[in-house]
Structure 1
Amino acid sequence: MVADQFGLRAIPTVYFLQQGQPIDGFQGPQSEKFIREILTHILQTAEELKIAQATELMATGKTAEALPLLKEAHQLEPKNSDISLTYAEALITLNQLDESQKILNTIAIQDQDSRYQGLLAQIELQKKAADTPEIKQLQETFAQQPENAELAVQLALKLHEVNRNEEALEILLTFLKKDLSAGDGSVKKTMMDILSALGSSDPLTNRYRHQIYSILY
């Protein structure tokens, strides 16, 4: 009998099952507050569900698909260090180093553990790997000719190749703020091409498209 199996001694008797096994419950009439406390303990929050889904995707190499879920979870619980670190880790995997650094900058001092330090080190290593001799040379030349739109486009494209997209977009935006037709339109075209390549899910896309539209209108 089910009653004997679960040891029913009162009405109502409520059990919460997970994979066929009881994980919590209560017997007899209970207050609404008591029931809500049990449900809060058992049921996953919206951000916990998103993190669980994202973790499964990341485990199978689908980090790009996991990123929107992690972003939503982070927006729901921006002070949750575990969520923030997982979000930052995904951004690093996708080579979105600047965005990852911004997330890590929000981590409270007491939560800056070995995982946090490891992610910082990973960002530093990837940035060094992306600092190619060709980029260094272009940066030095551009520093001497900061008004050269053609040189700005060349540097932006090289930065984009190594996923240093925020740096690339910032260089181009500086020119567009002064002249929308800079470089005979090549600056604007290059910027729009980079944004298209990043895709609508990348945080940089919305931010820089908004800035371009604010210049246009």
Structure 2
Amino acid sequence: MSQPANVVTADTFMTDVVEASARVPVLVDFWAPWCGPCKQLMPILDRLAQEYGGRFQLAKVNTDEQQELAQQLGIRSLPTVVLFKDRTSVDHFVGVIPEAQIRRLLDKHLPASSDGPLERAQALKASGDFSGARSLIEGALATDPQNITYQTELAELRALDGDLEGARTELARLQGVEPNHAAVKRLAALLAFSDVIAANPDVMALRERAASNESDLDLQHALAVHQLLGGDVEPAIQTWLDMMRHHRGYKDDLARRSLLQAFELIGDADPIVSRTRKEMARLLF
């Protein structure tokens, strides 16, 4: 089952819609309690969100309560439904349209569905449905209990669900079994960054502090971690490269170690990794 739709306000729109759409497309339903067509459309969108199994996140904006936000976004008729992807609006429709037409809009922009349990679990994880993702992986492990990738994915879901100690215990066990496995290295990187997130949970307050204290490397590092895990990779990478360039010795080469951990999360297939490795080589030698 998919996660229930997010109720979005002007204060959370950037985080819950724009930034979130870098990880998974976000379909935003602009509605009002007095709007009859809105009430017709809502159950259709809820059903599609469940059926698509994490391939998109559904969000809802009550325009009676968020009038200024609706005006800023140019919402003139209700219901209006807007699809955000990669931090920008990519499609929309107004009014109640046939379900088949909504499906065509979604299928045009959403990543292809996969029948594999890992891919389906990762789609659910990206939408925030950690319990649904965990159920899928636990089911997969029941038939393939020695699968290291499934085991690390389950540990990662534990961490995302708040059980950091359980995830660390599992990481220690996995490092004793397959220390060089890519998924195990990814989990180690995620848990290292999770400690930074736990120490700096309020990203909005962190942004303000980092902006007014540009020389505070701890704040800049923490913000870079938030950016990386939030999908905003470029500025995070640039922060650590700048730290390498000007503060190589800071905390036992923290910037270089952070970049290497970031590569484990991003994956070598992403061109930014090879570009950054070349830049690091120039700085190191």
| TM, length-normalised to structure 2 | 0.31
Q: Which has the higher contact order (CA 8 A, sep 6+)?
A: 2
| TM, length-normalised to structure 1 | 0.39
Larger proportion of helix: 1
Q: Between Structure 1 and Structure 2, whose CA radius of gyration is higher? A: 1
